[in-house]
A and B are shown apart, each in its own frame.
Chain A
Amino acid sequence: MAGSALRRLIAEYKQLMSNPPEGILAGPSTEENFFEWEALIVGPEGTCFEGGVFPAKLSFPADYPLSPPKMQFTCEMFHPNIYTDGRVCISILHAPGDDPMGYESSSERWSPVQSVEKILLSVVSMLAEPNDESGANVDAAKMWREDRKQFEKIADKLVRKSLGIPA
């Protein structure tokens, strides 16, 4: 019997295919391995990431959905809640009791109720509203707080880069 993780991932993939949320695209990156996904996220309108198309990869643990997947942007990102290597740091991706920043309440943490779709929607809203309390990228958090203009300039550059438009 194939593992329950695999069956749930297939179910989620079907769900995403039949009823895709706008501005989000996600699916397994190879046919052999349903535990590594790629995703494209469109920067939400009305924010400094508007219109950018940001690729990311999701890797699921063998005991998914009991443990959360990991998510990492594969393009250059500059955001308070994204590490410089692209790893995303939001509460929905952390299991309770595993709190790298020590600021998250357990009600926002990972539980099997969450899903790929909810993660990606959370990431979209994270792009819209950074949480500068989390120190995944301290420079970005500082700039977001103190020098919004400069932050928007960098974000704009990233958007252009993601679209292949020369700056």
Chain B
Amino acid sequence: MRAAGVVLISVALTCAVVGNAYYHKKQFYPSVVYITKSNPSMAIIYVQGLILVLMANTFLRKIFFGNLRAAEFEHLMEKLWYAVTETCLAFTVFRDDFSPKFVVLFTLLLFLKSFHWLAEDRVDFMERSPVITWLFHIRVASLLALLFSINLAMFNYAYNSTIAKGPSVQLVFGFEYALLITVVLNINIKYILHTIDLQRDSPWDNKPVYMLYTELIIGLMKVTLYIAFVAIMVRIYTLPLFAFRPMYFTMRNFKKAFHDIVMSRRAIRNMNTLYPNATPEELAAADNVCIICREEMVSASKKLPCNHIFHTSCLRSWFQRQQTCPTCRLNILRPTTTSQPSRQQQNQQPPPAPAAANPPPQSTPTPGAATQQAAPPPQFQIPTYWAHLTTPPTSQGLGNQQGQNSSTSQLPSGIVTGVPVFTHSFQPIIPLPPVPTPPPNLSNLTEEELRSMEGNLRAAVEARIETLQRVQLLLDAATAMMSQYQTAARSASINLPKSDTLLSQDDNKSTTSSMDNNRDSSSCISDFSMPSSTNGIADLRTSEVNEQLTPDSSSLLYSDRILRNNSLSSTPTPTPSTSSTGGIAPGELENLRQRRLVRDQSVD
């Protein structure tokens, strides 16, 4: 309404100005000269022009986007703000080029940019929207084609004018349009990927991979453009400060995409080569739901070293973000990177190292080795990824067990963070973890033996590394033992009636309690990921009949509507309702109000 008023006033003023000029001069040219000479007239003409452009913008937006969602509008405003401030910075470099033409070009650029942002939001929204209409496809496809050709034309224009007239502000425009071309490309690829995905009947496992590679390639193009632009600007003018913020973000995104690709490739390779497919029995034994997508696992599932099972495709997309087990956060990359060298080392036994660093295992029977011989190794010692690489240690000689030791205790992550075994079984007798051979007592070494560890020769370096590895083994064993003790202490205290925290979390399943095992349970105030107890709101329970306990997809939306109408208004005014779905029973608001009022009165 107000906008219409502004438009009307502006049009009226423009008519008055033009009419007045024509009335005075009677002819076209003199009138134009008259208007351009008069500052107030020119101001009105400029305002009119701006309003016309805004109207055209709104009109085009309506055609291509319809009504904007609230989130889209927020994004638009936020980005517009940055774009305007950065261009104001750019003005300072090109003070001399400032002219009405510049303003027009800049406004055009801004509008084109805003359409790019909106198009990107729209295309991203495809992933979230259940229904994509034909209108949507027509709009997006035509808009993308239009934007691409405009960008190309404007880039061409900027390029030609720079070649013809030497460097000017057209450099910035050319660069901006080149960037916009990459943006359109990116949106286009995403649009095609989403469209293909929507046409399919089954989930498209490779889509995240394509998305990630697209990001990498587009990122590379953008980074190259920015570097070229800054280089040119530095040579001709000065440091283009206005380009630094977007350049920083572009580079960061590129680095992240690169890092993600490298890491996820590694994790996926590990998954494919090292981790076994889950057998049907394993799937039947677990509760069979993939924690990532919350859907049943029927086939194509992988078992991680920590015994957690997921869909292979779900894991693949998760590994693009993080290379850990989603449930227990066991690092997927670490086990193989450490176990590979140790395996090699095992194969080369005995290494060409001198005796000093490699005492014969039989000669130093440590108490730990004795324990190990007596008791069978505890379950957690043999992570699955190792178990299928070597034969079980019990049937082998001591020397081999030493190797086995070293390989398992070299995997601190498997022991310290991979706690799945602790969560299920509270063993009555917890066997001690084995203690590996300690490093040789250095004072017992002969001069020759010590000397053999000096120098840069391969043998010397290997000897030193081996000594260090032994130290590491000791540390790992100590850590493992410590966590064993903790588990023992915890499993002992769980029988006491007063410590009910663990019991009350039983319904959270092993997923959360496995995290709990890693943590000092008492001192964690910043831990909100696990509410210690929910009985604070327990008396909200009202015994009303739940009419729609398991809504299927069709009644889902229906109950959703009820939910929204009854209780989800942002100003919670209590309404009489018939639906009882949800965690806050109907009338509960009124109850809470009454209770508070009663309390107030008693206080008074």
Contacts and interface: CB of A to CB of B under 8 A. Distances in A.
Contact of A22 (B530, B534, B573): B534
B541 interface: yes
Contacts of A4: 203, 293, 314, 317
A2 to B, nearest CB: 6
Nearest to B563: A27
B318 A34 contact: no
Contacts of A162: 572
A42 B201 contact: no
Contacts of B252: none
A138 interface: no
A25 B585 CA distance: 9
A143 interface: no
Interface in A3-28: 3-8, 10-18, 20-28
A53 interface: yes
A95 B321 CA distance: 9
A107 B582 contact: no
Contact of B537 (A35, A42, A111): A42
B550 interface: yes
Interface of B: 69, 71, 124, 127-130, 197-198, 200-204, 208, 291-295, 314, 317-318, 320-322, 324, 326-327, 329, 511-512, 515, 518-519, 525-532, 534, 536-541, 548-551, 553, 556-557, 559-561, 563-564, 567-568, 570-573, 581-584, 588-589, 592-593, 595-597, 600
A112 B583 contact: no
A53 B589 contact: yes
Contact of B295 (A11, A16, A32, A165): A11
A162 B573 CA distance: 9
10 contacts: A11-B295, A18-B549, A95-B322, A113-B327, A121-B534, A123-B528, A133-B525, A159-B596, A163-B596, A165-B600
Contacts of A22: 534, 537-538, 540-541, 583
Interface of A: 1-8, 10-18, 20-36, 38, 40, 42, 44-47, 51-53, 55, 59-60, 62-63, 65-67, 74-75, 90-92, 95-96, 103-104, 106-109, 111-114, 118, 121-126, 128-129, 131, 133-134, 159-160, 162-165
A2 B130 contact: yes
B528 A67 contact: no
Most chain B CB atoms below 10 A, which of A2, A17, A51, A103: A17
B291 A165 contact: no
A17 B588 CA distance: 17
Given A22-B537, A159-B596, A14 B556 contact: yes
B526 A133 contact: yes
A5 B529 contact: no
A131 B71 contact: no
Nearest to B558: A31
B491 to A, nearest CB: 20
Nearest to A53: B572
A3 B583 contact: no
Contacts of B327: 111, 113
Nearest to A160: B596
Contact of B551 (A14, A108, A111): A14
B529 A114 contact: yes
A162 to B, nearest CB: 7
A24 B536 CA distance: 12
A6 B130 contact: yes
A74 B127 contact: no
Contacts of A15: 294
A129 B531 CA distance: 10
A11 to B, nearest CB: 4
A1 B326 contact: no
Contacts of A3: 127-128, 197
A124 B597 contact: no
B560 A121 contact: no
B515 to A, nearest CB: 5
A131 B563 CA distance: 32
Given A5-B127, A131-B525, A113 B291 contact: yes
Contacts of A31: 557, 560-561
Contacts of B561: 31
Given A5-B128, A20-B581, A27-B563, A74 B570 contact: yes
Contact of A38 (B329, B529, B570): B570
A51 B536 contact: no
Contacts of A96: 322, 324
Given A107-B519, A113-B291, 19 more contacts: A1-B201, A4-B203, A6-B128, A6-B130, A14-B556, A17-B582, A20-B581, A22-B583, A27-B560, A33-B129, A40-B584, A42-B537, A42-B588, A63-B317, A104-B526, A107-B329, A107-B515, A108-B527, A134-B526
A52 to B, nearest CB: 8
Contacts of A25: 563, 567-568, 582-584
A62 B127 contact: yes
Contacts of B294: 8, 11-12, 15
Nearest to A101: B526
Contact of A17 (B530, B559, B572): B559
